[in-house]
Amino acid sequence: MNVEATIESREISYSEAIREAMEIALNRDERVILMGEDIGVYGGAFQVTGDLVEKFGPDRIMDTPISELGGAGVAVGAALTGLRPIFEFQFSDFATLAMEQIVNQAAKVRFMLGGAVSVPVVMRFPAGSGTGAAAQHSQSLEAWLGHVPGLKVVQPSTPEDAKGLLLAALEDPDPVMIFEHKILYKTKGIVPEGYYTTPIGKADVRRTGDDVTIVATSIMVHKAIEAADILAQENIDAEVIDLRTVRPIDRETVLNSVRKTGKLVCVYEGVKTLGIGAEVSAMVAESDAFDFLDAPIVRLGGAESPIPYNPDLEKAVVPQIPDIVESARAIAKGVI
Amino acid sequence: MPVEVILPKVDMDMATGKISAWHVAPGDRVEKGAPLFDIETDKAAMEVESPETGILHHITDPGTEVPIGDVVGWLYADDETVGDPPTANAGSAQWELGKDNQSEHSNILVEENKQSESTESGSSPSQVRATPLARRLARETGVAISSLAGSGPRGRIQKRDVEAAINSIAKNTSSVTKSETTVVPKPTDDGILKNFIEGSYELVPHDGMRKTIAKRLTESKQTIPHFYVSVDVELDALLALRAQLNGAAATDKDGKPAYKLSVNDMTIKALALALRDVPDANVSWTDENMVMHKHADVGVAVAIPGGLITPIIRRAEEKPLSVISNEMKDLGTRAKERKLKPEEYQGGSTAVSNMGMMGVKDFSAVVNPPHATILAVGAGEKRPVVKDSEIAVATVMTVTLSTDHRCVDGALGAKLLAEFKGYIENPMSMLV
């Protein structure tokens, strides 16, 4: 965390932390603008932008038409002209509609123009399941965008990181995609006041332990910590790493932990196959940390299924605390 | 992909095993969970269930010695074509064992392992199921990984298995260096054979049990400081009580008595009660701690074709003589059939070795670790004894207690033996 001034901390929610970050940015940098569907008077699909339009006016807090492709295109264009746009999607699922602008334009323009320009756009994606919003409004598509060179992709799990990573994203010359878990919006945490940034590309060890490494992202970090508490009662000491950034992944933090524990569980809500856990596992297997593995690597990810509407099934298709406990225990004890 | 059938680890200190028989013929279908083959370990025979449903192919012949975790067969799906036996990653990834950075003090084990590899398994490191960490540790310390038994699933060697091997090397080495001047090099097989005229003998390869006996008893005599205490005990009262008890046994409809006590059964009980009374002698030695046992688990040496085995009567101090007697009969019968389960012969804190029935007067037995004592029992015979300055005739047997002097000192052994003698000579005290 880079802090500019001595500051106080207090407990606020994840969505309040994001709003606070945007308000700070709007105040300290006139190039910052907000764009998105219903982010003005309505305050955003998840009430994240809230009353910002009253403070900064519709010139800087701009409602866009219901066209993600159009809105994202304007945001990318604005970034190219030197502005610092923050573009909000109502649901991360609608990234599919804006893929042309994100993947073919934002991620590539800097390369194709030989570095003459950059695209300092920030896009915010409310993501994940657990709200009963069914298959088209509950996905975790961060691995899709994590596959594209030229983009940076972050997944804050705490209010403090939600604020710090958003402010860091605005400093970054490249397009930064922020996946915010919808269930986390209401969670609270200690957040420093004022301006600070959380480094992109740096994971955070949320809990230290010697017996097994659990690498988790977003909401799974919280589940992993609860799982670690349960495991601690069985004298299994789990280390929980919050990846925070999925592109670029913080290799060293993960490898160091695996060198220490020899055991790795990856937990993420996105579909397991070809997901973030595949990347983390392969990264370990390809590195010298391979020689420290004392058990098979375990991945826990979303099932091979669209997110169901039925609440029980919705839970069943993503990893839950008992799944994490069971897997971590099994490899810690060397029984799988 | 066909599913491998692995030789599992069914016994604690098992490094290799033999398949004694397949229940399924190659080409036949077997259901998951159905009996697939019998495994013969150092001490017992056991049935192994099929890990999967499929058609069995490429089996290892019965009688071949196989390291734990090795593939002994493959199960194919119904529609799978059966070609050559699938192989694990043999070849290029091999590394030379203990060659470069083998440290001074690991020579011994590596030498030993080379020998056992060539004579027994012939398996190369790449065929060993081991975690990357276990392989690295083994490589760095010069431990021959193919000689280790894995404690993980399907015999996978894990860090803890290599660490255990490293610890045992360190232990062996320190004892070797200390007594370096007295170590006599072990004669080679050829060295022994050249003492005899060629053609004047036959060679019978050792089976698992013979190897285990040799290994364990050598280890016992080399690492346990033995101490011996003998005493004569009079049996007349015990024989009279035994006759009375056996006479009182209820009979079933075929006229078969509910129990038939032997002198040995009563010896087991007397030793168990003596251990209860002298708990300091009911122990096992570890380098860090004295293991104080809460019950008297008494092993009983049973001679069986090709060797011996020591099934355990658990909590013998609590059990009535009739229960001990019937349990002993069952264990003895199954021991001779090699059908004991490992948990039936592993553990215990003492043992009884009775050669009375063979007319042996007295002898000393070798402590069978983790036991701290063993009682060698001779024949009961009529002997002249002096009673009140008169010569009289009594039935007497001589027993010798061998103790591990690290944990049972001479006086403690004598105390245990005195208690034992008390129970044998006043046998009614065993009944209350």
ipTM of this model? Answer: 0.80
Tens digit of each residue's pLDDT (9 = 90 or more) over A103-123: 999 999 999 999 999 999 999
pLDDT surpasses 70 at A29: yes
Active-site entry in B57, B293, B371, B405: B405
Predicted confidence at residue B90, as pLDDT, reads 34
Predicted confidence at residue B377, as pLDDT, reads 95
Q: Which alpha helices (DSSP H) does B278-408 contain, by range? A: 321-336, 342-345
pLDDT surpasses 90 at B44: no
- Chain centroid, CA B142 distance in Å: 28
Predicted confidence at residue B97, as pLDDT, reads 33
Predicted confidence at residue A154, as pLDDT, reads 98
**Cβ neighbours of B8 in A, within 8 Å:** none
Q: Could you tell me the pLDDT band of residue B321, with boundaries at 50, 70 and 90?
A: very high
B51 versus B401: the higher-pLDDT residue is: B401
pLDDT surpasses 50 at B106: no
**Dist CA B43 CA B64 (whole Å):** 16
Predicted confidence at residue B119, as pLDDT, reads 37
Is residue B123 within 8 Å of residue B70, measured between CB atoms? yes
Question: CB A293 to CB B132 under 8 A?
Answer: yes
**Dist CA B86 CA B93 (whole Å):** 17
Tens digit of each residue's pLDDT (9 = 90 or more) over A240-275: 999 999 999 999 999 999 999 999 999 999 999 999
pLDDT surpasses 70 at B370: yes
Q: Could you tell me the pLDDT band of residue B104, with boundaries at 50, 70 and 90?
A: very low
Instruction: Kindly report whether the peptide bond that precedes residue A58 is cis, defined as omega within 30 degrees of 0.
Output: no
Q: Which of A261, A268, A206, A266 is nearest to A236 (CA)?
A: A261
B114 versus B52: the higher-pLDDT residue is: B52
Q: Could you tell me the pLDDT band of residue B67, with boundaries at 50, 70 and 90?
A: confident
**Dist CA A164 CA A172 (whole Å):** 12
Distances (CA, A) of A328 to A111, A172, B378: 42, 36, 56
Give Cβ neighbours of residue B200 (< 8 Å, ≥ 6 apart). none
* Summary count for chain A: helices (H), strands (E): 12, 16
Quick check: is A88 catalytic? no
User: CB-hemisphere CA count at 13 Å for A146?
Assistant: 25
Active-site entry in A16, A20, A88, A137: A137
B42 versus B94: the higher-pLDDT residue is: B42
- Chain centroid, CA A262 distance in Å: 26
pLDDT surpasses 70 at B111: no
Nearest CA in chain B to A262: B133
* Partner A contacted by B400 (CB < 8 A): no
Q: Which alpha helices (DSSP H) does B280-409 contain, by range? A: 321-336, 342-345
Beta bridge partners of B226: B404
Q: Which of A6-10, A164-168, A212-216, A308-312 has the lowest mean pLDDT?
A: A6-10
Predicted confidence at residue B339, as pLDDT, reads 86
B362/chain A closest Cα distance in angstroms: 49
Average pLDDT over residues B56-63: 88
Average pLDDT over residues A166-190: 98
